A = this chain, B = another copy of it.
Amino acid sequence: MSLMAEMRDAEARRSKAERKLIDHILGEPEAVLNTPIARLAAAVGVSEPTVNRFCRAMGARGFPDFKLRLAGELARARPSMARDIEPGDSGSHVAAKIFEATAASLSSAHNSLDTGALEQAVEALDRARAIALCGLGASASVALDAQHKLLRFDTPVVAHTDIINQRMLTASLRPEDCLLCISYTGRTRAITEVAQLARDSGATVIGLTSPGSPLAKACSMVLGVEGGEDTDLYTPMTSRIAQLVIIDVLVTTLALRKGDDFADHLEAVKRSVAATRSR
């Protein structure tokens, strides 16, 4: 178990001195990192060996090791926020900021992910006679990525990335089919019309888009990707990543639901790909 959780959990059944310690550490975990054992002991009002023994009880090898572990946990808990990129930034600064912004965006997408909607979407994909995917511009590559992942299943799947084909597609959709429409803004008129046409034909339309947008309104169900931090420069990039991860989740959940059949099918796909490898 994690240190923080362990401490919260153990607080009740521990001795008086250790309770004081736990209270103090949970209150200011960050501060503990820069505090030597003597100062911490004094601040809490216990002796140094008590602190040390406590650290061991928590599974660490001693006080320094305890701090190391705590540092690790705290680092996860605090997603570092990136500021905007400025012209003066060196290459590695740019990289750091983008990686951080992306991580933050992922975390935000995760928090705002609607599990219920996700289950519904998986349900729809599982039942579908055929799956179609639509995206324009940047979302086209997301649609293709999704297509590639879904190819592992035995449900017919197709991605369309140009508007003409997308509109033609809607004509062939049946109520048993499922269409996944991808758009970051949800304000691209063309794709909204496609979703509408698909609805008219009775198909289930899942929107992977911004909640509340015109596209979202046109869909049967929506997997929302909030913009998160609205740094104009990153948002489209980072939210595309979030979309891709949501698709990962969607596909993986679907795979679990399909169960054993899927395992066999996956094997077959892997074998057919292996033949193209070197060495």
List chain A positions with a Cβ less than 8 A from chain B: 1-2, 5-6, 9, 33-34, 64-65, 67-69, 71-76, 80, 85, 87, 89, 91-96, 98-99, 102-103, 106-107, 109-110, 113, 115, 118-119, 122, 137-138, 140-142, 144-145, 148-149, 185, 187-190, 192, 214, 233, 237, 240-241, 244-245, 248-249, 252-253, 256, 259, 273, 276-279
Q: Given A68-B33, A107-B103, A145-B141, are A278 and B76 also a contact pair (CB < 8 Å)?
A: no
In the assembled complex, the CB of A270 is this many whole angstroms from the nearest CB of chain B, namely: 10
Closest residue of chain B to A138, judged by CB?
B148
In the assembled complex, the CB of A51 is this many whole angstroms from the nearest CB of chain B, namely: 16
CB < 8 Å neighbour of A190 from B5, B240, B276: B276
In the assembled complex, the CB of A247 is this many whole angstroms from the nearest CB of chain B, namely: 9
Q: Which of A99, A190, A192, A276 has the most CB of B within 10 A?
A: A99
Chain A interface, >50% SS class = helix
CB < 8 Å neighbour of A71 from B69, B102, B118, B189: B69
As for how many copies of this chain the complex holds, the number is 2
CB < 8 Å neighbour of A5 from B1, B2, B96, B102: B96
Q: Which B residues lie within 8 Å of A137 (CB)? A: 148, 273
Contact A92 B278 (CB under 8 A): no
In the assembled complex, the CB of A60 is this many whole angstroms from the nearest CB of chain B, namely: 11
Contact B122 A279 (CB under 8 A): no
**How long is the Cα–Cα vector from A74 to B122 in the complex, in angstroms?**
34
In the assembled complex, the CB of A215 is this many whole angstroms from the nearest CB of chain B, namely: 8
Q: Which B residues lie within 8 Å of A33 (CB)? A: 68
Q: Given A71-B69, A92-B5, are A240 and B145 also a contact pair (CB < 8 Å)?
A: yes
